[in-house]
Amino acid sequence: MDSIKKWLPRLADALFPRRCPFCGALLGADALQGTVCPACVPEEMRLQHIPPRLPEGEHSFYALSQAAAAYYYADTVRSAILRCKRGGSPWRARELADRMAVLVFGALPARRVGGLPQYLGVAMLPLYNCIVPVPPRQPLPGVPGLPLLLARRLGQVLRIPVETPLSVRPGTRPQKELSRDERLQNARGAFVCQPGADLTGKRVLLVDDIITTGATASACALALLQAGATDVTVAAVAVAEELPKEKRKKTK
């Protein structure tokens, strides 16, 4: 049984070789940290959000203890995320989650292409008790959304269980049609925990693909706190913030 467990992932990697999440190129031994192809490295580094922790002044965070993102939502990162939307590219979601593990949670990059990043968190004292994905507003039946795919992979790396207690309150308008103030108003109360969901005493890691105003993450956190969670931190692949000057693309 153990040998099957060991060989199955290798077989899967042989049948479905790992690819760069940004351009889709097959990854070779020269991939940066086992995930990014050499051609995409400069862009990937340019778009990293360093440090990953998000400044509170620029977003509307309430009910959240902390917020972090691996990248700025721009250019090649933006197109990678858009390709994963609506469940479009599960393998890309896995690679993006691995980048989050490294850039946000300080996991050691996989030693080889296809390996799992190594998270050295203290096993006896988990930082979080569970991972909860932000639920999709317009779910496609049977298709896991990007936050759920990210949460599953991060759960594997950080060794914490994934729970899905949140759902969208029926009748809520989609955020993208709205202005910043409208978003805040619309999001508040837009998420509920399913009846019976008990998060008493749990520290929750909330996972989303993009943080725009923070309104969605904050509203989810509020629902989680109401279900008994003691503490909610949100982590996303990317944040929609203006790129710092030195990170902007140079135009001639």
Contacts with Zn ion by CB under 5 A lie at 20, 22-23, 25, 37, 40
If the CB atoms of residues 25 and 243 are measured against Zn ion, the closer one turns out to be 25
If the CB atoms of residues 31 and 68 are measured against Zn ion, the closer one turns out to be 31
Q: How far is the CB of 136 from Zn ion (least distance, A)?
A: 27
Q: How far is the CB of 146 from Zn ion (least distance, A)?
A: 19
Q: How far is the CB of 41 from Zn ion (least distance, A)?
A: 8
If the CB atoms of residues 20 and 162 are measured against Zn ion, the closer one turns out to be 20
Q: How far is the CB of 44 from Zn ion (least distance, A)?
A: 8
Q: How far is the CB of 100 from Zn ion (least distance, A)?
A: 17
Secondary structure, 3-state, the chain = CHHHHHHHHHHHHHHCCCECCCCCCECCCCCECCCECHHHHHHHHHCECCCCECCHHHCCCCCCCEEEEEEECCHHHHHHHHHHHHHCCHHHHHHHHHHHHHHCCCCECCCCCCCCCECCCCCCCCCCCEEEECCCCCCCCCCCCHHHHHHHHHHHHHCCCECCCEEECCCCCCHHHCCHHHHHHHHCCCEEECCCCCCCCCEEEEEEEEECCCHHHHHHHHHHHHCCCCEEEEEEEEECCCCCHHHCCCCC
If the CB atoms of residues 28 and 55 are measured against Zn ion, the closer one turns out to be 28
If the CB atoms of residues 23 and 240 are measured against Zn ion, the closer one turns out to be 23
